Amino acid sequence: MSKSLNRVRAALKAAGLPADIRELGQTRTAEEAAAAVGCALDQIAKSIIFRGEDSGTAILFLTAGGNRVSEAKASALAGEPLGKADAALIRAQTGFAIGGVAPVGHLGPIRAFLDPRLLDFETVWAAAGTPRHVFPLDPHVLPGLTGAEAADFTL
């Protein structure tokens, strides 16, 4: 089992949450993930990582599957210009590969923001550390679990 998947499982268990991790096979888009688990597109909690141009750190934006992040709104929230995070930065700071970034189980603390649209659901699905694994959770636990601040950062 992958180290990334194990970190997610451990983080969920440490938080007292079920680690109901499911293997879907390769899903490259939120649409494919939603179809595979049988949920609405916006129930997919996408982990979008930007690079803080001043700080050089990864910043996480958890957004509903059908939404896109507004770089201008996200930069205003972060308090610094944001740029594209490359695979090396994402791996170094989160421990995950692109396509498998989970909201939990990061190598260290990460600044995070939460799309309020996710809070409209009883259950959302997030990547579980690999591009092939997901897990369900109540989105209302995300702020406490991740330190994410609910804010408007979508287009």
Q: Left if phi > 0, otherwise alpha if psi is -120 to 50, otherwise beta: which for 95? A: left
- Supply the range of the domain harboring residue 141: 3-150
DSSP 10: H
Pair 137, 123: CB distance under 8 Å = yes
Instruction: Output the CA angle 139-141-146, nearest 5 degrees.
Output: 100
Asked whether residue 76 is domain-assigned, the answer is yes
Asked whether residue 155 is domain-assigned, the answer is no
Asked whether residue 14 is domain-assigned, the answer is yes
Instruction: Output the CA angle 97-126-48, nearest 5 degrees.
Output: 55
Asked whether residue 84 is domain-assigned, the answer is yes
Asked whether residue 82 is domain-assigned, the answer is yes
Task: Name the token pair of 74.
Answer: 């996200």
In this predicted model, what pLDDT tens digit does every residue of 90-130 receive, in sequence order? 999 999 999 999 999 999 999 999 999 999 999 999 999 99
SS3 7: helix
Mean pLDDT, contiguous 10-residue spans, the chain (155 residues):
93 96 91 97 98 98 98 98 97 96 97 98 97 97 97 97
CATH number at residue 120: 3.90.960.10
**What is the bridge-based pairing of β-strands 22-23 and 133-137?**
antiparallel
Q: What does pTM read for this prediction?
A: 0.97
